[in-house]
Amino acid sequence: MRNGLNLRWAEVEEVEPLAQMWRAAWRDGHLGHVPEALVTQRTPELFVQRARDNLARMKVAGPVGRPLGLCIVDEDQLYQLFVAAEARGTGLAGLLLRDAETRMAEDGVRRAWLKCAVGNARAAAFYRRNGWELESTAETRFGQEVGDGIPVETWVFAKTL
């Protein structure tokens, strides 16, 4: 526990509040850095579905029903990491990141990676401060949940665990 924040596995009854927090935090980090078509596609309903689909591998912080942050690991990828605006500056993002790195290392991952939208300087600086290195820039298609996907320029960061 750090700053009174415990990490725990997400619970099914909090899908809606998780989706609301995730969408708000996603918009904070992505508006102006991704195509408007992707922003339009990222509806509240889509985030509910994404939360439901990822619930079993989602670590969260904050009381049930009032999440302050979430993190999803997909094998060797830090797939999602978002913190609510009111929890920024509390150390929660670092706590979620270290937990994800520990889980990956315990699963035998030696080199982890993540993607970050080009232009999201706040996130990129956070990852750099935590030992992640920019390896490349790539075009990634996002939004395949509802179509062919929308191309987004992304930074690919990696870290040896």
pLDDT digits (tens, 9 = 90+) for 135-155: 999 998 887 666 678 999 999
Give the lowest-confidence range in 5-9, 93-97, 118-122.
Answer: 5-9
143 touches 149 (CB < 8 A): yes
Tell me the mean pLDDT in the region 21-29. Answer: 96
| Average pLDDT value for the chain | 93
Q: Where are the domains of the chain?
A: 7-160
pTM here? Answer: 0.92
Cα 44–49–54 angle (5° rounding)? 125
pLDDT at 4: 52
Round to whole Å and give the CA distance between 117 and 119: 6
Q: Quick one: DSSP state of residue 15? A: H
pLDDT at 110: 98
Q: Crossing angle for the helix pair 44-54 and 15-30, nearest 10 degrees?
A: 120
Token match 């922003």: residue? 39
DSSP string, 69-103: EEEEEETTEEEEEEE-GGGTTTTHHHHHHHHHHHH
b/e 95-105 (16+ beta carbons within 10 angstroms → b): bbbeebbeebe
The CATH number of 7-160 is 3.40.630.30
Residue 90 φ/ψ, nearest 5 degrees? -95, -10
**Cβ neighbours, 10 Å, residue 91:** 13
Q: Is the pLDDT assigned to residue 94 strictly greater than 50?
A: yes
